[in-house]
């Protein structure tokens, strides 16, 4: 489900998977809001996403519960962007925090 546009909106998805004998369910919810800028940087876009990926009792070590907080720097609308994200895994398995950066270009 998607409400809004590529610049401002809300997205969510649910799905069920099977890998051999292991069943899983997953979903995410995400929201983002574009703030117009007056420069080469066309928009500043804060974003948040929560993702759950759970498996049956056979494969609980594969479960994920991740919150991502990000800031996107959009160039040329949404055709090119620099993303800076902080990720936090809520399942207690040691050091499960990360800061990531990526650059995307639409071809």
**pLDDT tens digits, the chain, 107 residues: what are they?**
999 998 899 999 998 888 788 788 899 999 999 999 988 889 999 999 999 988 776 666 668 889 999 999 998 766 889 999 999 988 766 668 889 999 999 87
Considering the entire predicted model, what is its pTM?
0.81
The predicted pLDDT at position 32 comes to: 96
Query: Do 91 and 63 form a contact (C-beta atoms < 8 A)?
Result: yes
The predicted pLDDT at position 11 comes to: 96
Distance CA 10, CA 45 (A): 13
How close are the terminal C-alpha atoms of the chain, in Å?
25
């Amino acid at each position: 489900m998607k409400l809004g546009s590529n610049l401002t909106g809300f997205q969510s998805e649910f799905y069920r998977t099977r890998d051999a004998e292991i069943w899983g369910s997953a979903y995410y919810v995400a929201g983002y809001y574009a703030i117009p800028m007056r420069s080469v940087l066309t928009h500043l876009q804060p974003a948040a996403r929560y993702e759950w990926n759970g498996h049956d009792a056979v494969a609980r070590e594969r479960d994920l519960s991740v919150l991502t907080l990000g800031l996107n720097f959009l160039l040329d609308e949404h055709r090119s962007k620099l993303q800076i994200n902080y990720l936090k895994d809520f399942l207690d398995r040691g050091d499960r925090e990360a800061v990531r950066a990526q650059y995307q270009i639409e071809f």
